[in-house]
Amino acid sequence: MRKLIVSPSPHIHSVENTQRIMRDVIIALCPSLLVSIYFFGFSAIKLALVGVASCVAVEYVIQKYILKTQVTINDYTAALTGLLLALNLPPSSPGWMILIGSIVAIGVAKMTFGGLGQNIFNPALVGRVFLLVSFPVLMTDWSVPASWFREGVDAATGATPLALIKEGLSNGLTIEQIMAANPEISYVHMLFTKIGGSVGEVSALALILGFVYLLVRRVIKPTIPLSIIGTIFVVSGIFWLANPAQFTDPIFNILTGGVLLGAIFMATDYVTSPMSTTGQIIFGVGIGLLTVLIRYFGAYPEGVSFAILIMNMVVPLLNKYCKPARFGKEVKNGK
């Protein structure tokens, strides 16, 4: 008689697998990538390619030759880290810099913790922050490289809107005066293609499109992004109402400085975000709060990366104390 498979129940599995999820996230990033290629041309392509290739290569080398374990590059997680890292860098970043970022992201932030699923910090953000601290000048050089696609279109602003505001405020100007002096800081520009900033945050609309795709494919739940964005909106709204001359308005805060990129793609990283819904809300609110505080009172004009990394540290604690709602209350002894 033939030999039958006898593994225990359940005998069927959903279509879900790690590779498919990671591929979906990469697909969700494509609109943003396309917009930035349109906007920054070859340098965006170069950054994305170098980012992906170097992260995959670093993971391969470490797994194959140093740890001598199974190579897992085909789960696409390394590729995704590379792409996210690239999208978080200024368009003019040199290739060697993203290579260093990749080594830090995969080698330090992921592999030393034990590989996929074990790391505490979001690898791409660790890579980015490492570069920000090590190469502050290159990392804040927002000049726009020439693009072959975009002749005739206005060149983008050299500085990010947040940096312009920070600078203006420190020169004693009010928000109104800064806005008047920089007409390119407009919501329309932010929504579509024309804000200065890192490769991935050129167009808010493209990021939102990716968000919708992730929701439809059930890759992520809206809990974390919405609690981050909601918190930023409310907290910056309070400051803005209190003093509109000194503080930027809530919509401005949401559309700039990588909030959308961070909230949708970085903070929702499974490994480094909490598991339960309550935990996720606390996590999101924490990120939102820290972002606004860093922006208004910190040294850096933006703060999303730092806010996410700080909240990453709290995740083990949130997982420990925020349990999902159990089914049915405990019956008391003797009852």
Which range in 57-65, 112-120, 140-148, 231-239 contacts another protein by CB under 8 A?
Answer: 112-120
> Minimum CB separation from another protein for residue 44, in Å?
28
Residue 155 in tokens = 């060149």
Judged by CB under 8 A, the number of residues near another protein is 40
The dihedrals phi and psi of 60, each to the nearest 5 degrees, come to -60, -50
> Minimum CB separation from another protein for residue 239, in Å?
33
Residue 10 preceded by cis peptide, ω within 30: yes
Which range in 2-10, 166-174, 196-204, 227-235 contacts another protein by CB under 8 A?
Answer: 2-10
Which range in 42-50, 96-104, 114-122, 204-212 contacts another protein by CB under 8 A?
Answer: 114-122
Whichever of 43 and 268 has its CB closer to another protein, that residue is 268
Measured CA to CA in angstroms, residue 124 lies from 29, 77, 291, 301, 328 at distances of 14, 11, 18, 20, 41
CA angle 93, 208, 14 (to 5 degrees): 105
Supply the Cα-derived Rg of the chain in whole angstroms.
Answer: 21
Neighbours of 328 (CB within 10 A): 5
Is residue 64 a contact residue for another protein (CB under 8 A)?
Answer: no
Whichever of 115 and 258 has its CB closer to another protein, that residue is 115
Candidates 45, 271, 310, 314: give the one binding another protein (CB under 8 A): 271
> Minimum CB separation from another protein for residue 227, in Å?
15
Pattern 21-40, another protein, x by CB under 8 A: x-------------------
Candidates 16, 146, 187, 241: give the one binding another protein (CB under 8 A): 16
Binders of another protein among 210-269, rule CB under 8 A? 221
Contact call for residues 279 and 322 (beta carbons, < 8 A): yes
Is residue 6 a contact residue for another protein (CB under 8 A)?
Answer: yes
Whichever of 14 and 171 has its CB closer to another protein, that residue is 14
Contact call for residues 83 and 25 (beta carbons, < 8 A): no
Q: CA 171, 293, 224, 220: dihedral to nearest 10 degrees?
A: 40
Measured CA to CA, the distance from residue 105 to residue 56 in angstroms comes to 11
Is residue 299 a contact residue for another protein (CB under 8 A)?
Answer: no
Q: With b meaning 16 or more CB within 10 Å and e meaning fewer, what string describes 258-296?
A: bbbbbbbbbbbbebbbbebebbbbbbbbbbbbbbbebbb
Measured CA to CA, the distance from residue 191 to residue 211 in angstroms comes to 14
> Minimum CB separation from another protein for residue 223, in Å?
10
> Minimum CB separation from another protein for residue 5, in Å?
4
Candidates 65, 68, 170, 329: give the one binding another protein (CB under 8 A): 329
Which residues would be at the binding site for another protein (CB under 8 A)? Answer: 1, 4-14, 16-18, 20-21, 72, 75, 77, 115-118, 221, 270-271, 275-276, 323-331, 333-334
